[in-house]
């Protein structure tokens, strides 16, 4: 009786022990699984951050480099264009000045010729009666 009663007790105790062992094993596996997952995600998120940060820096460096290169190129082109424009304006101004000087010179010469002609014409128009007197004055001036 005792044995018969003991057998089911032993059996249920064995079941309980088995169940307890199974529970402990499951909990241990669960713990290990969460730890493995967490470690992987933790290291991955940190690596990803570093990569993200590095790639962001590289991109920013490239962008800054491109902006600087474009700026230098544009600045150089603008400077060249500006210099050409200044040289063109200076040449035009110089040409205009030369033209003005030439015109003034020409006008001056024309005036001189005109005055000389007038003088000559006026001197030729001395009346015939006054010719001897004009000759005397010319001789005096020559002396």
Partner 1 sequence: MAAGTAIEAIATATAEEFAGLEMEAAAQEFSSVVQAHRPQIFRFLLASTRDVDLAETLTQECFLKAHRNWDRFRGDSSAMTWLMRIAINLQKDHWRNRRVQFWRHTRTNSVDMDEASEWLPSGERSAEQQMLAREQVKQVWKAVEGLSARQRTVFLLRFVEDLELSEIAQATGLSEGTVKAHLSRALGKVRGELRGKR
- Residues that bind partner 1 in the complex, under the rule CB under 8 A: 19, 22-23, 25-27, 29-42, 45
- CA–CA distance, 39 with 49 (Å, rounded to integer): 15
Alpha-carbon Rg for the chain, nearest whole angstrom, is 59
- CA–CA distance, 3 with 31 (Å, rounded to integer): 41
Q: Tell me whether residue 29 or residue 74 sits nearer to partner 1 (CB atom).
A: 29
Q: Tell me whether residue 39 or residue 131 sits nearer to partner 1 (CB atom).
A: 39
Q: How far is the CB of 40 from partner 1 (least distance, A)?
A: 7
Q: How far is the CB of 41 from partner 1 (least distance, A)?
A: 5
Sign of the CA dihedral 81, 83, 88, 89?
positive
Instruction: Give kind and range of the element (H or E) at residue 132.
Output: helix 131-142
Q: Tell me whether residue 45 or residue 72 sits nearer to partner 1 (CB atom).
A: 45
Q: How far is the CB of 7 from partner 1 (least distance, A)?
A: 22
Q: Tell me whether residue 27 or residue 53 sits nearer to partner 1 (CB atom).
A: 27
In the three-class reduction of DSSP (H, G, I as helix; E, B as strand; rest coil), residue 143 is classed as: coil
Q: How far is the CB of 21 from partner 1 (least distance, A)?
A: 11
């Amino acid at each position: 009786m005792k044995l018969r009663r003991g057998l089911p007790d032993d059996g249920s105790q064995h079941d309980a022990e088995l169940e307890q062992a199974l529970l402990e094993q499951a909990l241990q596996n669960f713990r290990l699984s969460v730890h493995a997952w967490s470690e992987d995600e933790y290291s991955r998120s940190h690596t990803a951050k570093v990569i993200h940060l590095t790639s962001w820096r590289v991109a920013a460096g490239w962008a800054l480099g491109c902006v600087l290169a474009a700026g230098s190129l544009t600045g150089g082109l603008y400077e060249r264009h500006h210099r050409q424009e200044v040289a063109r304006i200076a040449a035009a101004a110089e040409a205009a000045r030369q033209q003005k000087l030439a015109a003034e010179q020409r006008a001056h010469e024309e005036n001189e010729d005109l005055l000389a002609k007038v003088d000559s014409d006026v001197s030729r128009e001395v009346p015939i009666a006054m010719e001897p007197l004009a000759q005397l004055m010319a001789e005096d001036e020559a002396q």
